[in-house]
Amino acid sequence: MSGIAPGAWLGNYNVFPDHVNESRHGARSEDILNAVDAAIADDMDILNLSLGGGYHGNNDLLANGLDNAVDAGVVVAVAAGNSGPGAGTLESPGRARKVITVGASTNKHFVGQMFTYPASGGTTIDAAVGEFPPLAGSFGLFFNTQLNGCTSIDSGASGNVAVVNRGVCTFSTKVRNAIAAGATGVVVINNVAGDPIGMSKDGGGGDDLPAVMISNNDGAALRVANPPDALADATLQEFTTSNQDILAAFSSQGPTAVDFAVKPDVTSVGVNVLSSCVSSDFVDCGGSSWAFLSGTSMSTPHIAGSAAVLLNLHPSWSPAQIKSALVNRADLVIQDAVTGLHDVGPTAQGAGRENLSVAADATSWMDPAAASFGRVTLGHPTSLTITLSNPTGTDETFSVSVTKFTPDTFGGTVPSVYDAGTLSAGDTRINVPGSVTVPANGSTTLTVTVNTGQPSGTVVQGWINLDGPGSNDLHFAYYAIVGH
């Protein structure tokens, strides 16, 4: 088995120097930065930080230190955090401007077992198996009526498999409550769109009971059918679905606190990712060295590995060029976690889900990789500039358009693409030139202006599209909030 960049040389740096003798000392910013300094001294090219914590103001020590690491020539990939859903949940150090902050989106496969109800035959669905044992044979079903099983499970579940909803507490807590009720297993119904996930244990023990998860849609149908029993095929297999590119509900979202910057920068697969697993106080691998894991801690290494591939192909590329290639050539395909049907905005997905093949063919870059205006003053149009670079021997001309993001009730969008040009006062759109030419072996600037005639509190957000020659297209996110 190999990963994204199987030829990369890996180094490991301890950010928990005081984690000894079962004591659980968190990693201090100073500990993490010491590890970062050691990695830079060892001439590491890329850093992966699948970690996050509280925000410590605009002078956040860790965020500033990681931006300094980028200035030192290192590509830094940082997890957005698992504090979603909702705006303003992005963690530190993912708020650092120069790093590549990574959100998580769904995979399109999982490992599990077929599940048929009623047991005599009827509807067959697929259930994901994780660290808990799979179900086997036929069994009765007890529906813990629309409850999550976090406080208790009714004693009526005794001798049956309890059906509960996902959410609020750990999977192990639900399983322990099922054991206390005398249940023989647990079926958890997912509470977000997309596939079910392989459930992990919380490391507390006392949770050795068969438990699987089924999708939200399959769970709703199961509850309506209300069958007395079901039959599970104990044979595990891989199921391939069409449920990729849905924003993970846990994925932290921007904008960043205080300065209202666009974050995350990009998303990658962070749900049902087959990864190495080492049992610890916090993770139970169920006796295996592999496990299906979820989190922005899974999506971030995809970006770090992709950066390694790009550096192998293009050793001269700078951290800013690597970031732009991955971010500004991402695919805008991420959908909302509630329904899986609606687009999400730039502070949920950044510039979209990475497309490594497209990034590898980049022939131009931009810096910064997003137009983060922050809070702009009512009645005072505000501009910033994006530097476009062209390393080729031929001038590159891009036509410029804007995609406006308008949230709907699901946090999605009614997208509209319109031509650039001069805008009237009070227009919520962005003012950009209709085209821009980047000279051969040179650079130029693109000025982006947000009009501020809208009411205070108005959010102006979306993506600016640069359509170049052939397939050389880029886009970048913009975000501003109008204030006094």
Q: pLDDT tens for residues 77-108?
A: 999 999 988 899 999 999 999 999 999 999 99
**Token pair of 305 as six digits:** 């590995």
**pLDDT on residue 430:** 84
User: 1-105+244-362 architecture in CATH?
Assistant: 3-Layer(aba) Sandwich (3.40)
**Token pair of 135 as six digits:** 């179900």
Conformation bin of residue 149: beta by default, left when phi > 0, alpha when psi is -120 to 50 = left
pLDDT-derived band at 420, boundaries 50, 70, 90: low
d(CA 82, CA 271): 12
For the domain bounded by 109-240, which CATH number is listed? 3.50.30.30
**pLDDT on residue 284:** 63
d(CA 145, CA 182): 17
d(CA 239, CA 230): 20
End-to-end CA, the chain: 56
Fold classification of 363-484 (topology level)? Immunoglobulin-like (2.60.40)
Model confidence at 425: pLDDT above 60: no
Q: How many residues are listed for the chain in this entry?
A: 484
442-480 pLDDT, tens digit per residue, is 999 999 999 877 788 889 999 999 999 888 899 999 999
d(CA 182, CA 428): 59
**pLDDT on residue 190:** 95
288-297, 333-342, 349-358, 462-471: range with highest mean pLDDT:
349-358
**Token pair of 287 as six digits:** 């006796």
Average pLDDT over residues 8-24: 77
d(CA 181, CA 188): 16
172-192 pLDDT, tens digit per residue, is 999 999 999 999 999 999 999
d(CA 87, CA 91): 11
Model confidence at 283: pLDDT above 80: no
d(CA 69, CA 97): 12
pLDDT-derived band at 412, boundaries 50, 70, 90: low
Phi, psi of 197 (to 5 degrees): -120, 160
**pLDDT on residue 280:** 63
**Token pair of 67 as six digits:** 């931006």
**Token pair of 322 as six digits:** 């690597």
Can you give the residue ranges of every domain in the chain?
1-105+244-362, 109-240, 363-484
| Single-letter amino acid, residue 42 | D
- Rounded (5°) CA angle 71-76-80: 125
d(CA 264, CA 94): 8
CB 292 within 8 A of CB 272: yes
Model confidence at 289: pLDDT above 90: no
CB 335 within 8 A of CB 412: yes
Partners of residue 416 on adjacent β-strands: 404
Q: What is the pTM of this model?
A: 0.90
d(CA 188, CA 232): 14
CB 78 within 8 A of CB 100: yes
d(CA 90, CA 83): 7
Tokens 């808990």 found at: 132
- Rounded (5°) CA angle 78-382-436: 80
The answer to whether domain 109-240 and domain 363-484 are alike in fold is no
Host H or E run for residue 171? helix 171-180
**Token pair of 196 as six digits:** 């079910």
Partners of residue 401 on adjacent β-strands: 419, 465
Average pLDDT over residues 318-338: 95
d(CA 408, CA 413): 6
Model confidence at 224: pLDDT above 90: yes
Phi, psi of 129 (to 5 degrees): -115, 135
d(CA 260, CA 256): 5
| Integer angstrom CA distances of residue 347 from 203, 250, 262, 407, 479 | 33, 14, 5, 12, 8
**Token pair of 450 as six digits:** 């947000």
